[in-house]
């Protein structure tokens, strides 16, 4: 029986306007009331999840969220608490930054706990836009600033216009993949996590903590950073708007995120499957 429902956010739980459809809320609440554990599993930082999680109105004593593409596991009771994490050290950051010598239009951004940092003299417009999607303001920092700060750096993101980032990825993806878990989650984002860390590793860690077998997990997603999570689950559902490679490995395809496809999938494959 499917016990844990792992749900991506952008392109999945949220519609194309970054809104949370009421139909998704209603069905998720029904699933939670029937005893299924709802887990947000996203590349977003904590600030970018909190208001949506509040709207879900889950009433369990303890809830969980897997953030930063699996780099951090949070427990949510009365407040958000960091349960466990995997981080990049200063040497990792310095190496990642060193690759940008010939790419001045690509920016290295860092998620340091709840802070959004960019290695630049001032915040580029593209970085400011991405930060606005997660309800935060990025801070320009130097390498010296990064070395001095004490908060863990969960993940790094190369950010640039798609054609420039394509060229950068072509030049360095093979080299980077030897040292980090890499994923192109958006056309303008190429992300680096600690080696071996993905949404799937975060999901397995939580499943072990909750004593849930992976065969009892259903995962819903739409993009490249959802692939490993969906492969790790006992049953996977791709959104109607999902990338071709995501639909190819999924066990089922639901409606798009603009049609409350999450609600449709949970209703069909979880709630009705019990009847």
Q: What percent of the chain has pLDDT over 70?
A: 98
Question: pLDDT band at 79, cuts 50/70/90?
Answer: confident
Geometric angle at alpha carbon 28, from 26 and 31, rounded to 5° = 110
Question: pLDDT band at 73, cuts 50/70/90?
Answer: very high
Long-range contacts of 30-33 (CB under 8 A, 24+ apart): 30/271, 31/5, 31/266, 31/270, 31/271, 32/58, 32/59, 32/60
Q: Which domains does the chain have, with CATH numbers?
A: 4-85+197-274 (3.40.50.1000), 90-194 (3.30.1240.10)
Residue 207 Cα to chain centre, angstroms: 17
CA 104 – CA 89 distance, rounded (Å): 23
Helix, strand, coil percentages, rounded to 5, for the chain: 45, 25, 30
Task: Supply the mean pLDDT for the chain.
Answer: 96
Q: What is the pTM of this model?
A: 0.95
CA atoms within 13 A on the CB side of 231: 14
| Contact by Cβ (8 Å): 108, 96 | yes
pLDDT value for 274: 64
- Burial 143-170, CB ≥16 within 10 A → b, else e: eeebeebeebbbbbbbbbeeebbeebbe
What is the mean predicted confidence (pLDDT) over 24-40?
Answer: 95
Question: pLDDT band at 174, cuts 50/70/90?
Answer: very high
Is residue 275 over pLDDT 60? no
pLDDT value for 140: 98
- The one-character DSSP state at 260 is T
What is the mean predicted confidence (pLDDT) over 240-258?
Answer: 98
Question: pLDDT band at 2, cuts 50/70/90?
Answer: confident
Is residue 59 over pLDDT 90? no
What would the pLDDT profile of 100-153 be if each residue is shown by its tens digit?
999 999 999 999 999 999 999 999 999 999 999 999 999 999 999 999 999 999
């Amino acid at each position: 029986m499917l016990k844990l429902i792992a749900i991506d956010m952008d392109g999945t739980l949220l519609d194309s306007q970054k809104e949370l459809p009421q139909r998704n809320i209603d069905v998720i609440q029904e699933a939670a009331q029937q005893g299924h554990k709802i887990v947000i599993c996203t590349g977003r930082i904590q600030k970018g999840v909190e208001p949506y999680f509040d709207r879900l109105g889950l009433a369990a004593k303890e809830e969980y969220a897997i953030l930063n593409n699996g780099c951090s596991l949070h427990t949510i009771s009365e407040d958000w608490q960091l349960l466990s994490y995997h981080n990049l050290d200063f040497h990792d950051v310095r190496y990642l930054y060193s690759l940008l010598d010939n790419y001045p239009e690509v920016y290295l951004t860092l998620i340091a706990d709840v802070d959004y940092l960019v290695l630049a003299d001032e915040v580029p417009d593209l970085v400011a836009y991405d930060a606005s999607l997660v309800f935060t303001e990025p801070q320009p920092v130097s390498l010296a600033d990064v070395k001095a700060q004490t908060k863990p750096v969960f993940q790094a993101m190369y950010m640039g216009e798609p054609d420039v980032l394509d060229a950068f990825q072509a030049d360095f993806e093979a080299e980077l993949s030897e040292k980090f878990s890499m994923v192109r989650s958006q056309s303008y984002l190429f992300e680096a996590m600690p080696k071996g860390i993905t949404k799937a590793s975060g999901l397995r860690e939580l499943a072990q903590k909750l004593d849930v077998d992976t065969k009892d997990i259903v995962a819903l997603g739409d993009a490249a950073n959802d692939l490993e999570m969906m492969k790790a689950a006992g049953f996977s559902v791709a959104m109607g708007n999902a990338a071709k490679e995501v639909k190819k490995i999924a066990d089922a395809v639901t409606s798009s995120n603009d049609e409350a496809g999450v609600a449709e999938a949970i209703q069909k494959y979880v709630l009705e499957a019990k009847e």
